[in-house]
Amino acid sequence: MSGLLRRKPRDRVAPLLPPEDARDGALVFVVAVLCLLACLAVVAAIGADRAAHGWRTQLSGSATVLVRPRGDETADGAAARAAEALAGVKGVTEAAALEPEKAKALLEPWLGRDGVLDDLPIPRLVSVDLDPRAPASLATMTQALKAAAVDATIDDHSLWLKDVLRAGAIARAFAIGVAVLMAAAAAAVTVFATRAGLTARQDLVSVLHLAGAEDRFIAGLFLARFARMAALAGLIGALAAALVAAAARLAGGGAGLTPILPLAWTDLLPLALCPLAAAAVAAAAARATAMGLLKNMA
Amino acid sequence: MSRTADVRLTPTDAAPDEQSLDGPIVRFDGVGLRYGRAPEVLKDLTFELEPGSFHFLTGASGAGKSSLLRLIDLALRPSRGLIGLFGHDVARLKRDELPFMRRRIGVVFQDKRLLDHLSAFDNVSLPLRLAGRRIKDYRADVTELLTWVGLNERIDARPAALSGGEQQRLAIARAVVGRPELLLADEPTGDVDQAMALRILRLFVELNRLGTTVLIASHDEQLVARSGRPVLHLEDGRLIPAGAAGA
């Protein structure tokens, strides 16, 4: 029996591109590092968003009313009337006059405990809790106090809220910017690698062309290779980022790394998209580059 | 004894539109070729190859044989003149139409251009893969062809493990596996012994009998003479009319 007959029939074709070489390993490493940084930026963006949302909820969910007694009215009486007036406003869940001791406690960090507070006229404060779904507006509460003839100033924390929202938006934009920058860097690396690959495989490309391969078929070979490599790099980068984020979560206790950047386990879920995103970016970059280069070939 | 090709060496009066190109498989009309700003390597070539014809292309080294073949296999564009292929003016072909034209042409390159990372089987089956055929449909044909060119025991060998003659036979097998309408071969018997050269010639003749138009560039005067086929003779980039060769 001849060797030909003994040979097992083939059922698979060999890849048209040569197997990966040492340069491909370096490319995987570079893209994996970029993916790691991009993933960390995404986790940071999610954490920043959660922190900003928490602060916003806290600030927008309450208001403080400074009450000034009129005429012969006592401070306690004015505060009680203010609390009563506000409690009936739609969007207010609770309004209660703060005990003078509590007001003093609020001032202690700035003025100390050495008796100065006893000599000062401590303003009476009313604490107002707002309905988080439909909070009462500043104008509505002011109107209610005016109607009850209470001289008061309402602090709805809007000044702080704006700053918090701005800070949260900046942190989010910065993190997204970093992630986009990393994606662009990964695309640039892929473009460079595709150019190098096409140049190095000029002989192969020429044979494929002359044997009747279409540009998109040849570009598809490079697209598939770089998409596969980028997916692997994306997986490595995402796993590394997940480890870093998990370490931060565990090191920071239940609140996360710090109260400023709270992390939840669910924040790691978006990292699962990293291999897909990396493959998509690499595929698009490789295809565009290969098609551009092939057009310049005979 | 070879005889000179029945080619027309005078320009035709026909307009260079697609209708006028019907008929010959290959038509050159006043074709010139230069590389960059260098002098023309091919000058005023005018000839036609009819379907089913079999020609040899001869000429000294540097006469332009390989350049002429590269014009026909669409690897180069002429600097001037008209080239018709399968009834189409190649200058009017869109880029995405070229692959389909190339699939109708089998080429044996002088430098073989085998893919080093592929086995003999995969090298030969390349045109069939590119044409969209599946391995189960062509496995037997490719194996039979490799057997025919004497490479059945080297079916899994990479080109680097093959001798020059084996590589040449592999390149020929790749060129003919798709039963091309036009076969171009650049010195296809350069690295094989006389017995194998005759065997290869018989393969080309058999393909020609089945309808393939054949054009072979060769230095092998014995082979050309033995074939008795018409000859296109190039001298200094020009086609030389019958009886004028060497004058």
Q: Provide the shortest C-alpha distance from residue A7 to chain B (in Å).
A: 10
Question: Which of A10, A204, A206, A294 has the most B C-beta neighbours within 10 Å, making it the best mutation to test the interface with B?
Answer: A10
The strand pair at B230-235 and B238-239 is best described as antiparallel
Average pLDDT over residues A137-153: 88
Cβ <8 Å between B129 and A2 = no
Rounded to whole angstroms, the Cα distance separating B217 from A7 reads 37
Task: Please tell me the predicted confidence (pLDDT) of residue B18.
Answer: 40
Task: Quickly state the pLDDT bin for B247 (edges 50, 70, 90).
Answer: very low
Closest among A26, A43, A40, A34 to A234, alpha carbons compared? A34
Q: Is the pLDDT of residue A127 over 50?
A: yes
Are A294 and A218 in contact by the 8 Å Cβ rule? The answer is yes
- The pLDDT mean for chain A works out to 82
Q: Is the pLDDT of residue B183 over 90?
A: yes
A212 contact residues in B (CB cutoff 8 A): 99-100, 102-103, 127, 130-131
Whole-number percent of chain A with pLDDT over 90: 11
Task: Quickly state the pLDDT bin for B15 (edges 50, 70, 90).
Answer: very low
Cβ <8 Å between A210 and B73 = yes
Portion 238-297 of A in contact with B at CB < 8 A: 295
Q: Provide the shortest C-alpha distance from residue A223 to chain B (in Å).
A: 17
Task: Quickly state the pLDDT bin for B7 (edges 50, 70, 90).
Answer: very low
Portion 187-216 of A in contact with B at CB < 8 A: 203-204, 206-215
Residue B75 is nearest to which of A18, A215, A298, comparing CB atoms? A298
Q: What is the 3-state secondary structure (H, E, C) of B151-210?
A: CHHHCCCCHHHCCHHHHHHHHHHHHHCCCCCEEEEECCCCCCCHHHHHHHHHHHHHHHHC
Task: Quickly state the pLDDT bin for B17 (edges 50, 70, 90).
Answer: very low
Q: What is the DSSP letter of A262?
A: -
Rounded to whole angstroms, the Cα distance separating B145 from B177 reads 7
A9 contact residues in B (CB cutoff 8 A): 139
A214 contact residues in B (CB cutoff 8 A): 96, 99
Q: Is the pLDDT of residue B216 over 80?
A: yes
Q: How do residues A1-40 score in pLDDT, each as one tens digit?
A: 444 445 555 677 888 888 776 567 888 898 899 999 989 8
Q: How do residues A86-100 score in pLDDT, each as one tens digit?
A: 888 898 899 888 887
- The pLDDT mean for chain B works out to 86
Residue B119 is nearest to which of A14, A206, A213, comparing CB atoms? A14
| DSSP-based helix, strand, coil % in chain A, nearest 5 | 70, 10, 20
DSSP string of chain B, one letter each residue: --EE-----S---S-SSTGGG-S-SEEEEEEEE-STTSPPSEEEEEEEE-TT-EEEEEE-TTSSHHHHHHHHTTSS--SEEEEEETTEEGGG--GGGHHHHHTTEEEE-TT----TTS-HHHHHHHHHHHTT--HHHHHHHHHHHHHHTT-GGGTT--GGGS-HHHHHHHHHHHHHTT--SEEEEESTTTTS-HHHHHHHHHHHHHHHHTT-EEEEE---HHHHHHHT-EEEEEETTEEPPTT-TT-
Average pLDDT over residues B120-146: 93
Q: How do residues A263-287 score in pLDDT, each as one tens digit?
A: 778 888 989 999 999 899 889 988 8
Residue B127 is nearest to which of A16, A209, A212, comparing CB atoms? A212
Select the more confidently predicted residue: A196 or A142.
A142
Torsion of CA B236, B92, B13, B45, to 10 degrees: 10
Q: Please report the ipTM that was assigned to this predicted complex.
A: 0.79
pTM over 0.90, yes/no: no
Q: How do residues B50-77 score in pLDDT, each as one tens digit?
A: 999 999 999 988 899 999 999 999 989 9
For residue A111, the Cα-to-chain-centroid distance in whole angstroms is: 39
Average pLDDT over residues B183-209: 87
Q: How far is CA A141 from CA A66, A92, A146, in A?
A: 13, 9, 9
Helix axes A22-60, A158-200, angle to 10 degrees: 170
Cβ <8 Å between B99 and A16 = no
Rounded to whole angstroms, the Cα distance separating B226 from A271 reads 72
Whole-number percent of chain B with pLDDT over 90: 60
Task: Please tell me the predicted confidence (pLDDT) of residue A261.
Answer: 66
Determine the 3-state secondary structure of A89 from DSSP: coil
DSSP string of A195-256, one letter each residue: HHHHHHTHHHHHHHHHTT--HHHHHHHHHHHHHHHHHHHHHHHHHHHHHHHHHHHHHTGGG-
Task: Please tell me the predicted confidence (pLDDT) of residue A256.
Answer: 52
A14 contact residues in B (CB cutoff 8 A): 117-119, 122
How many contacts (CB atoms, under 8 Å) link A and B?
75
Structure-token pair, residue B233: 């003779």
Select the more confidently predicted residue: A50 or A113.
A50
Portion 61-120 of B in contact with A at CB < 8 A: 73-77, 95-96, 99-100, 102-103, 107, 113, 115-119
Are A227 and A286 in contact by the 8 Å Cβ rule? The answer is yes
B90 contact residues in A (CB cutoff 8 A): none
Cβ <8 Å between B130 and A204 = no
Q: How do residues A220-256 score in pLDDT, each as one tens digit?
A: 988 898 899 899 999 999 999 999 988 887 776 555 5
